[in-house]
């Protein structure tokens, strides 16, 4: 817990720098940004935010491609005492209408190509709009270039919000997880220590920054450690392998590791300078873990987190990193496995609901007090919705989800939203959307559809109808047309049977 006068995450990240000239970020074009540069850029952008009417506690929504100015926008928002709301770049205007309407930001920053559509949505909540493109250019950076670098960081308390990240449930609409200054700072500092980060580390940053993993884990941990990051727009296996000669850490989703294993340049020699490979956001297949170890001599460190909690557990830095396990609770985090019906704590090796408690756990769901109350136990434990167990050695294992959430490529997909779109199509009687194991994405989104007899509905027609209505990561990878869905005695669709039936369709 921070006890200084200002608990603002920005203050905690950048106050008391021993060497402001240290490298913070290196870009592909060779541009080098020091910690001092980052502070100045955040000051300039914070001044623009304030000039646009952003006040402490206001939300700033950002749907921008990855760039250094996009990362600066996050830092500037927090510095100005506002609440950062990152939005997946794949979201359509149809989806953005909900997020912006729900969060009511005072400012929305978007790609210039979407500005017209965003203006119409933002106008409904009285929000202003600025632009920022994939190269980090736009009205926001134009204004920032003329603004002063000096900015007094707005005082915040530990419990004040720093960010809202929308997460998917299995029913209804997305929920905004409210993350405080202390949630983010405490978790990052814990990871710096647990993963042995130091100022000598160089992170290959190839993750998106609208997601917990790339924004809070990768960026915050690096900055707290006074380390450096090489900022890549996206996954590029040839480039990543080349960069390993002068980097020390890679953080990725399972897709990174399956794609890197397909590259013949990956070897013990090419990875010898690396200290740590971290995987998260979706389950890493045990086979991938073993193949990586055999090929590189490095054991991937798998960890477990959620939008609502940041990181909960991690395999040890020193000690066995067990394939298929997500390790031990992080310092300060309590984890237990309970009976989903009674809430009673279960013994080792018994499968039940994973519940967690700690300074990392979010404040609640934005404007959803009833939903928040339902997701917490009376003693403060958060009910994750993940099913798992703790083995005899104390390692946590995730075995599935109590709620039929699909995690594809590290992104939460809730079936209900996709089912509603498919069910509205002419000729469709009903549908069920499931996730089944996929080596590249963790889980592949799969739709099983029942049609009226004689209806002209096919896999191609369903995918064609969904195109443009859903973000790409929510799109089914396969659609199966069937006569009926399996049901239990209560009439409930048995998705477990569907998962068993289609469980091997993406097997390599």
As a residue count, the chain comes to: 508
Q: Would you write out the chain's pLDDT as a tens digit for each of its 508 residues?
A: 444 569 999 999 999 999 999 999 999 999 999 999 999 999 999 999 999 999 999 999 999 999 999 999 999 999 999 999 999 998 999 999 999 999 999 999 999 999 999 999 999 999 999 999 999 999 999 999 999 999 999 999 999 999 999 985 444 578 999 999 999 999 999 999 999 999 999 999 999 999 999 999 999 999 999 999 999 999 999 999 999 999 999 999 988 999 999 999 999 999 999 999 999 987 888 889 999 999 999 999 999 999 999 999 999 999 999 998 999 999 999 999 999 878 999 999 998 899 999 999 999 999 999 999 999 999 999 999 998 999 999 999 987 776 677 889 988 787 878 988 998 999 998 899 999 999 899 999 999 999 999 999 999 999 999 999 999 999 999 999 999 999 865 567 888 899 999 999 997 6
CA distance 244 to 323: 23
- 300, containing H or E segment: none
Label the pairing between strands 406-408 and 276-279: unpaired
Strand-pairing partners, residue 412, are 407
> What predicted TM-score, i.e. pTM, was given to this entire model?
0.85
> Which residue, among 310, 50, 331, has the nearest Cα to 180 in the 3D structure?
310
Q: Is 374 exposed, middle or buried (0-12, 13-18, 19+ CB in 10 A)?
A: exposed
Tokens of 408: 């594809």
According to the 3-state scheme, what is the secondary structure of 254-291?
HHHHHHHHCCCCCCCCCCCCCCEEEECCCCCCHHHHHH
């Amino acid at each position: 817990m921070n006890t200084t006068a200002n608990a603002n995450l920005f203050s905690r990240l950048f106050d008391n720098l021993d060497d402001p000239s240290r490298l913070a970020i290196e870009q592909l074009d060779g541009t080098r940004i020091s910690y001092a540069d980052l502070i100045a850029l955040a000051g300039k952008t914070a001044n623009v935010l304030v000039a646009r009417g952003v006040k402490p506690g206001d939300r700033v929504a950002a749907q921008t491609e990855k760039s250094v100015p996009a990362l600066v926008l996050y830092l500037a928002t927090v510095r100005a005492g506002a609440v950062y709301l990152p939005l997946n770049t794949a979201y359509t205007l149809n989806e953005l209408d909900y997020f912006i309407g729900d969060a009511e930001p005072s400012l929305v920053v978007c790609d210039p190509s979407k500005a017209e559509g965003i203006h119409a949505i933002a106008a409904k909540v009285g929000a202003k709009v600025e632009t920022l493109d994939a190269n980090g250019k736009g009205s926001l950076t134009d204004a920032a270039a003329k603004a002063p670098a000096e900015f007094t960081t707005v005082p915040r308390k530990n419990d004040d919000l720093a960010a809202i990240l929308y997460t998917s449930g299995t029913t209804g609409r997305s929920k905004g997880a409210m993350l405080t200054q202390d949630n983010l700072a405490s978790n990052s500092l814990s990871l710096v220590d647990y993963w042995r980060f130091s100022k000598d580390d160089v992170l290959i940053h190839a993750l998106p920054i609208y997601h917990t993993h790339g924004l809070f884990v990768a960026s915050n941990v690096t900055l707290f450690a006074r380390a450096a990051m090489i900022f890549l727009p996206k996954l590029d296996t040839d480039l990543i392998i080349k960069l390993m000669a002068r980097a020390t850490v890679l953080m990725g989703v399972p897709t990174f590791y399956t794609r890197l294993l397909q590259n013949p340049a990956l070897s013990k020699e090419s990875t010898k300078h690396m200290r740590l490979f971290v995987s998260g956001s979706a389950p890493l297949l045990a086979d991938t873990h073993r193949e990586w170890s055999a090929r590189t001599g490095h054991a991937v460190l798998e960890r477990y987190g959620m939008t609502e909690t940041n990181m909960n557990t991690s395999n040890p830095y020193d000690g066995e990193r067990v394939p298929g396990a997500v390790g031990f609770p992080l310092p300060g985090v309590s984890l237990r496995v309970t009976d989903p019906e009674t809430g009673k704590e279960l013994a080792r090796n018994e499968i039940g609901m994973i519940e967690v408690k700690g300074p990392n756990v979010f404040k609640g769901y934005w404007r959803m007090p009833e939903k928040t109350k339902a997701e917490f136990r009376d003693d403060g434990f958060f009910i994750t919705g993940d099913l798992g167990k703790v083995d005899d050695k104390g390692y946590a294992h995730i075995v599935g989800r109590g709620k039929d959430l699909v995690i594809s490529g590290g992104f939460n997909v809730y079936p209900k939203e996709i089912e509603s779109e498919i069910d509205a199509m002419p000729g469709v009687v009903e549908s069920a959307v499931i996730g089944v194991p996929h080596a590249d994405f963790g889980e592949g989104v799969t739709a099983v559809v029942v049609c009226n007899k004689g209806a002209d509905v096919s896999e191609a027609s369903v995918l064609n109808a969904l195109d443009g209505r859903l973000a790409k990561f929510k799109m089914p990878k396969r659609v199966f047309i069937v006569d009926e869905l399996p049901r239990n005695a209560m009439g409930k669709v048995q998705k477990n049977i569907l998962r068993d039936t289609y469980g091997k369709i993406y097997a390599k």
